[in-house]
Amino acid sequence: MILTSDVHFGDNLLQGWTGEEYSMLTHEKDFPTETTQVAIIGAGPIGLELAASLKRAGVDYLHFDARQIGYTISWWPRNTSFFSTSERLEIAGIPIQNSHQQRVTGEEYLAYLRAVVEQLDLQVNTYEPVVHIERLQDGFELRTQPLQGEQCYRCQQVVIATGDMAAPNYLGIPGEDLPHVSHYFTDPHYYFRKRVLVVGGKNSAVEAALRCWRSGSQVAISYRRADFDEKSVKNSILPDVKTQIRSGNIQFYPQSLPIEITPPHVVLAPTNDENRVEGESIIHQTDFVLICTGFRADLRLFEIAGVRLDGPERIPDYDPDTMKTNVPGLYVAGTAAGGDQNRYRLFIENCHEHVGKIVAAITGQWPEKLGSIPARQYSVPLTYFQAN
């Protein structure tokens, strides 16, 4: 098995190495070893909530992240609000308070996570990617690669909470790597008074198209289906994009799929909603291409550790009552438990219980504080999440 990495995240530490080659290389060196009971990998909201719960329970742990806490949220488009209301995003029983009592933006949520870390004094080894996990008779050995050089740790249990947005879903077409093509929408200002083709028809693509158009861009959308799915686009923006298309403000290419990108244009082939079909291609002139086709999880650590990945979405094999994987002592938490979610089932707001199950499995006690404060906790059906 060849391990690969995504250039956007600057983590090419494993590229081109097999797990066996890596193990042989590292065991030739003599590393000082630090020990702990639990190692948490991933410092997103659920990883941080787990750290808070273990600390409150008096469990010795170490916490690692390849980047900064909440990293994937940091490259969201500016001023993008969560669909989830603030009480559903709260962790460890610490409320989110703001002046507007509305949904928080990515920037506001990152500030909240920083406040949680400082309030509870959670120690996180940021910028220290875990590159290898080895199962031992009495626990695990972890190898990390911080800037100062490789480190070694031993622990009894490991929790992988690395999320499900490690890298884009690439189209795999010629020209996708050209400098005017991006899979990350960060700011509509970049496209001011320029032509931009947005590829995709779900929520992120529609929101990007509307924001770019309102910022002064000439916008077109290419989508493989005949129309937008109301289950995949927020009900707050679906009527808006349809109005702009009907009014001619946004050009729409339904049942189309990019097959080649060049500096001056994109070649669009016809589809039957799912697959390319025979027919005349469209040459669309554009200055920029914004590909909003979703993201995938990085499941390499699961593979290295020996966790089975099931089905086309490569879902880690775990016990839903405890979050234990098929590897004894190794747990999964958060959206990483969904593998490569083609249709999202796991979100921050319905993963708080993962923390409770793991803490209960390790300590025998359910944590006292999960999610929001008791006065603002309530259940929401999964269909409500999936519709938005």
Domains along the chain? 7-167+296-386 (3.50.50.60), 170-293 (3.50.50.60)
End-to-end CA distance of the chain: give it in Å, rounded: 37
- Buried b / exposed e over 191-224, threshold 16 CB at 10 Å, is beeebbbbbbbbbbbbbbbbbbbebebbbbbbbb
Which of 12, 5, 299 shows the shortest CA–CA distance to 133? 299
113 CB-near residues (< 8 Å, 6+ apart): 45, 48, 69, 70, 91
Residue 360 zone, left/alpha/beta (φ > 0; ψ -120 to 50; rest) = alpha
Q: What's the token pair of residue 69?
A: 């806490």
Handedness of CA 261, 264, 270, 272 (dihedral sign): positive
Longest dimension (CA), the chain: 68
Q: Read off the pTM.
A: 0.86
Determine the Cα–Cα distance for residues 232 and 200; give it in Å rounded to an integer.
11
Kindly state the helix (H) or strand (E) to which residue 258 belongs, with its residue range. Answer: strand 256-261
Contact indicator for 43, 69 with CB cutoff of 8 Å: yes
201 CB-near residues (< 8 Å, 6+ apart): 221, 223, 224, 225, 228, 229, 232, 233
Average pLDDT, the chain: 89
Contact indicator for 161, 40 with CB cutoff of 8 Å: yes
pLDDT at 31: 59
Determine the Cα–Cα distance for residues 253 and 257; give it in Å rounded to an integer.
9
Q: What does the pLDDT look like over 191-225, one tens digit per residue?
A: 999 999 999 999 999 999 999 999 999 999 999 99
Q: What's the token pair of residue 237?
A: 């923006």
- Buried b / exposed e over 53-70, threshold 16 CB at 10 Å, is bbbebebebbbbbbbebb
Q: What does the pLDDT look like over 249-280, one tens digit per residue?
A: 999 999 999 999 999 999 999 999 778 889 99
pLDDT at 383: 54
Determine the Cα–Cα distance for residues 347 and 254; give it in Å rounded to an integer.
29
Determine the Cα–Cα distance for residues 238 and 202; give it in Å rounded to an integer.
10
Q: What's the token pair of residue 385?
A: 């999440």
Per-residue pLDDT of the chain (388 residues; tens, 9 = 90+): 233 333 343 333 343 444 444 444 444 455 558 999 999 999 999 999 999 999 999 999 999 999 999 999 998 888 888 888 889 999 999 999 988 888 899 999 999 999 999 999 999 999 999 999 999 999 999 999 999 999 999 999 999 999 998 889 999 999 999 999 999 999 999 999 999 999 999 999 999 999 999 999 999 999 999 999 888 888 889 999 999 999 999 999 999 999 999 999 999 999 997 788 899 999 999 999 999 999 999 999 999 999 999 999 999 999 999 999 999 999 999 999 999 887 778 889 999 999 999 999 999 999 999 988 888 888 766 555 444 4
